Amino acid sequence: MSTPRLADVLDNADVIHERAALEAAIEGMADAIRDDYADDARPPLFVTIMHGGMPFAARLAFALGERGLDVEFDYLHATRYRGNTSGSGLAWLHRPATSMEGRRVLLVDDILDEGHTLKAVTRWCEDQDAADVRVAVLAVKVHDRCVDGVCADYVGVEVPDRYVFGYGMDFHEQGRNLPAIYALAD
């Protein structure tokens, strides 16, 4: 089976959030995060969830730096999708090398859909004796299928219960670098 081409769906996709709206949302998130971490003696551990979280995490990190909040970087790669449009079991491809013991951890991801990945990742950070684990996501999908107890502490925008891509989110591993969020046509 061949992989669908992004170009074949992009013309009919709906723009859900333009770049300017996303960047304004990220600026607002940076203000809230700075306020929550400003009094800490040690910079929080800023953990990007790859690959989808990378574009959002980069922009958020710069916005935090512009506000005077230093962060220590690491990343993890855990996925349920592996290029597909529906999830399966969680696969850990890389775990952070930085010790989380006693640290405040900020997990940064592109989207909170149902929350299976974020639940597993958050639990793993807690098992590593992180003092506090918070979650920042660019987008939250609006539906009623979320895993109990999974929520984001910082949210940029909401997206409809459709297949979305762009600004880190992929369409069959394509389109992550699009500067807006799109949804496949109904």
Residue 128 structure tokens: 């590593």
Give the pLDDT confidence score for residue 149 in this predicted structure: 84
In tens, the pLDDT along 155-172 reads: 999 999 999 999 999 999
Give domain 6-81+88-183's CATH number out of 3.30.1360.170, 1.10.3720.10, 3.40.50.2020, 3.30.465.10: 3.40.50.2020
% of the chain beyond a pLDDT of 70:
95
Q: Which amino acid is at 92?
A: W
What pLDDT is stored for residue 24 in this prediction? 98
Q: Return all residues near 37 (Cβ < 8 A) that are at least 6 apart.
A: 43, 44, 69, 104, 106
Q: Which of 92, 72, 73 is nearest to 82 (CA)?
A: 92
Burial 5-26 (b: 16+ CB within 10 A, else e): ebeebbeebeebbeeeebbebb
> Could you tell me the end-to-end alpha-carbon distance of the chain, in angstroms, rounded to an integer?
23
Enumerate the domain spans of the chain: 6-81+88-183
What pLDDT shows up at residue 82? 54
Over 80: is that where the pLDDT of 45 sits?
yes
Mean residue pLDDT across the chain: 93
Catalytic site positions: 113
Query: The tokens of 133 are what?
Result: 């684990």
* 93 φ/ψ angles, rounded to the nearest 5 degrees: -100, -25
Q: Buried b vs exposed e over 120-145: b needs ≥16 C-beta within 10 Å?
A: bbbebbeebebebbbbbbbbbbeeee
pTM of the model: 0.92
- What is the pLDDT averaged over residues 69-77? 97
Given this model, what pLDDT does residue 79 score? 81
* Residues of the chain above pLDDT 90, percent: 83
CA 10 vs. chain centroid, Å, equals: 22
Chain segment 77-130, per-residue pLDDT in tens: 988 665 555 555 788 889 999 999 999 999 999 999 999 989 999 999 999 999
What pLDDT sits at residue 86? 53
| Four-CA torsion 63, 66, 70, 75, nearest 10 degrees | 30
